[in-house]
Amino acid sequence: MDVSGKKALIFGGTSGIGLAAAKQLAALGCEVIAISRNPDRASDLPAGITTRACDVLDTAALAQLFADCAPFDILISSATGGSRAIGPFLDMDLDGYKASFDKLWGYTNVVRLGAHHLTENGAIVLVSGAPARKCQPGQIALSCVGGAVEAFARGIANEIAPRRINVVSPGTIDTPMVALTGDERTAVYQKMTQANSIPRPGTAAEVGQAIVFLVQNDFVNGTTVDVDGGWLLS
């Protein structure tokens, strides 16, 4: 796909991985609509990116947004949908565990409502996470949700063809989701990545590159691309 002149909707597109993908697509001449619950927090957006407010769990608002923006060629979601539970499963608040699946329900809503307005040869990219296939202690909720996202994409790929759907699976990525700063932030990331063959956190831009690849490459469908610094090898 030559993305120049195409239109992309990116949920979670005003921060972190989504914003990185938005900037890269805009730099290639794509018209990008970056969508999040609080788009006013985004600043210094480059030319080619506009913002809209929407919650991926609000199906009525989603349906209206898609109708307003249709047609479009690219549909990306990195929106988490809400909070995510961390910790041992047997000690976990099950409400927190269930809430972690808001990411899956958000993706489900985006694909189910958005695919109808996607151009015939359009592309969808979702974001899962490395715990989907290699779960570290305390990551059971992340693992279950990520695994469900990847299974969803594989399962639905044939149903929506010739439109394509793929997944990017990031490892430990340095994004605003981690609120720590300074030496404390550095120490946390070092501990999280020390066993990886690339012992550092990835950047949002590195994951964004994988998203753009999956958009542009018309011969990739129903698969997951890992951007994890060797997480699965450690």
pLDDT category, 171, cuts 50, 70, 90? very high
Contact yes or no for 118/165 (Cβ under 8 A): no
Check which CATH number belongs to the domain holding 44 and give it: 3.40.50.720
**158 in a domain, yes or no?**
yes
pLDDT in tens, 90-138: 999 999 999 999 999 999 999 999 999 999 999 999 999 999 999 999 9
pLDDT of residue 21: 98
| Residue 169 identity | S
- Banded model confidence at residue 57, pLDDT cuts 50, 70, 90: very high
Q: How far, in Å, CA of 69 to CA of 62, rounded?
A: 11
Mean pLDDT (the chain, rounded): 95
Distance between CA 116 and CA 122 in Å, rounded? 11
Residue 2 lies in a domain: no
* pLDDT greater at residue 10 or residue 183: 10
Neighbours of 223 (CB within 10 A): 14
In a domain, 93, yes or no: yes
Whether residue 232 is contained in a domain is answered as no
pLDDT over 80 (residue 210): yes
Query: At what angle are helices 102-114 and 140-160 packed, to 10 degrees?
Result: 10
Domain count, the chain: 1
Query: Please, are residues 192 and 173 in contact by the beta-carbon 8 Å criterion?
Result: no
Percent of the chain residues past pLDDT 70, beyond the cut: 99
Q: In sequence order, what E strands does 117-176 have?
A: 118-127, 164-170, 173-174
Q: Is pLDDT larger for residue 11 or for residue 187?
A: 11
Biggest CA-to-CA distance, the chain:
50
171 is a domain residue: yes
Query: Domain range holding 32?
Result: 7-225
What's the pLDDT at 26? Answer: 98
Flag whether 70 is in a domain.
Answer: yes
Confidence of residue 186 (pLDDT cuts 50, 70, 90): confident
Bigger pLDDT: 28 vs 42: 28
**Does residue 234 belong to any structural domain of this protein?**
no
Residue 14 in domain: yes
